[in-house]
Structure 1
Amino acid sequence: MNNEITPTPSPATDPKTYSIIIYILMALGLFTGVFGLVAIIMAYVKKDEFKGTVYYDHMLYLIKTFWVGLVAGIIGFILMIILIGWIVIIAAYIWFIYRITVGFINLLDGKPVSTTSWF
């Protein structure tokens, strides 16, 4: 009789589950930036572990989405002086939501995302 116990892998260590968590945190980051910061740190930490998998592209995609969204938000805030900042902020918000939604759907379908496109 074999008394060895085989450890069950934790769902948190599964690349797909980990990626789903990051997408959810990024989406929550729209309401409070703290979740976005946690998500981006998690993406940077795991990105190299995911090399050679579809999840690596998702990490790069999320990192790009975060930084471009942040820069667009800052530019929009600065442009509020001349009253066009709201347009930039709303456009960046819509773009961010679009990217998170498309990326999440592709993740659930097991498909890669484009790390070079803007949409």
Structure 2
Amino acid sequence: MDKETFARRLALSMAGTSDGILKYAEHPAGRGVSVERKARAGWMAELDDESRQWLHQLVEEGVHAGVFGVLCILDHVRFIEDIGEKGSFNLTYTSPFGAQTQINPEEGEMLHDLFNGFSRDAQK
């Protein structure tokens, strides 16, 4: 797997995440659903179609921003450390046969840029 394939598959796998989040928020499952989740589900049930669409877009943007931010860290353009020397992360894919590929090499297009492009394609 190369970084383009990784970014494409990541974008495709994230495409339905907001739908799942909203579905679970509207119909919380399981025992011991918290008072907050019940209240949120009640609030969501009262929303009109336009408000639901706005909420869906906000959740989509939040999901995208979270993944994008992690990819920026992997691309070494955003850092976890506030001050001083900065460390870096190396993301390595290991195939079922043991071959390894670094997914975030310093050269070439960056993961966060690839993810943005593939995310736009996945929404079409």
Give the number of the structure whose residues are more often strand, by fraction: 2
Instruction: Using structure 2 for the length normalisation, give the TM-score.
Output: 0.28
Instruction: Using structure 1 for the length normalisation, give the TM-score.
Output: 0.28
Give the number of the structure whose residues are more often helix, by fraction: 1
Report the structure number with the largest CA radius of gyration: 2
- Considering Cα pairs closer than 8 Å and 6+ residues apart, tell me whether 1 or 2 has the greater RCO: 2
